Each structure stands twice: as C-alpha cells, then as structure tokens.
Amino acid sequence: MDFKQLENKFEKKKVNTFLVYQEGELTTEYYKTPECANNLYKINSITKSIVSILIGIAIDKAYINDIHTPITEWIENVSNEKRDLTLYHLLTMTTGEDWKEFGNGVVFPNDFVESDNWVQYILEKPMIEEPATKMNYNSGSSHLLSYIIQKATGMSTEQFAKKYVFDPLEITEYEWQQDPQGIHVGGFGMKMKSKDLLKLGILCLQNGYWQGNEIISSK
C-alpha cells in the first residue's frame, strides 16, 4: 500500500496526525488539518513510559540508588505486607496488589481517580499475590513512581521532567494532569504534540542520546 492509499483511509477515520521516522529521518508526515500539527493530544499510558525514563534519570543523577530500593525509603505509612515492595515491582507492575484495571468488564480504575487521595488509595489496596510473581496492569504503580520522583528529588515530576528531558529536547508545550494533592499523574494524563512525542521515541531509539548529548544512561 502506498502512502496515498493510507492517507485516504486516515481521512475516513479519526486519525489527526501520523508520522513515520525511518533510518534517521522523518519520512512520512500526515495531518488531518494544518492545525493538527500544533495540537496537544492525549498520550494516555505513554505517560507511564515517560515516568519510567524519569526514574532512570533520577538514578543517573544519584537521587535514587537503584530500582531495588524499597518504597519505604520515601513512603512512611506503608503496611507491613507492602514493606518489601521496591521500585522494580512498581516498574514491572508486579506488586501483587488487588488492582482491577483491565479485564472482567473493567477498563479504567474509576474508584482510584475518584478518590480524595490517590496515593493513599493505592497504599490501602490489599495484597493477593506474592510480589514479582505476576504482572497485573496497574496505573497506580506508575502514580506511586511519580510520587517517589517528587519525594526523592524535591521537585515536582513535571519540574524534573522539564529540567532533564523536555528542555534538552525542546519540548515546550504540553499539559500534565495532577491528582488532588498536586502530584503529576504517573499512569496517564499527559498531552503533547505528535512531533514532540516522536522526539521521545527517537531518544529511546538512540539509547538515551539526543543530538550527541546523553540524556539518560542506556543502562
């Protein structure tokens, strides 16, 4: 299929922007309208990947020791059954908590986002599995990572991202939802331009380098 055929299909669907980056250059660029190039779009769970990158940078910058550090390093009111949980368990979504987000008719954790205190809601979820035994999709784990970034660095997650990722990549326009306590949402809630999202993809393809500068260690 050539691009013209693909473009015709896009026009019939709700596709606002489509970019292809191949062999070091932007080879395909489609926008439904000229305005779409500068519109901010929800990137939903790609927010999780950005937060994971930020955890890596926090380790690079010595704000965090390593991914096996227990969450009790930053969170005091942790129940005994969760005291052995580490950043690794949050990053891999293997905490073992009773968390329903996908499957059995559940597609979004509404009780979580409607709660008065998101972090406390996560901490109060009971354990039903041993940690590291089963992956269960969990936006709460990603939100705890955002909270930990804030605690470990003394900056909001957005400020940390701006300093170490967005400014170096010249990402200047974006939106990032916050929870009732002002913590930037770790699992979703970000909007950005398609070309800026592409920059983040290129950063990963280039093992953490951007224009010859290391933004995040490939380790």
Give the pLDDT confidence of 90-141 residue by residue, as tens digits: 999 999 999 999 776 667 888 999 999 999 999 999 999 999 999 999 999 9
Within 10 angstroms of residue 152's Cβ, the number of other Cβ atoms is: 21
Distance CA 194, CA 196 (A): 5
pLDDT band at 1 (very low <50, low <70, confident <90, very high): low
| Domain architecture of the chain: domains with CATH | 43-189 (3.40.710.10)
Q: pTM score, two decimals?
A: 0.94
pLDDT above 90 as % of the chain: 88
**How many whole angstroms from its chain centre is CA 201?**
13
Q: Give the count of alpha carbons within 13 A of 112, CB side only.
A: 24
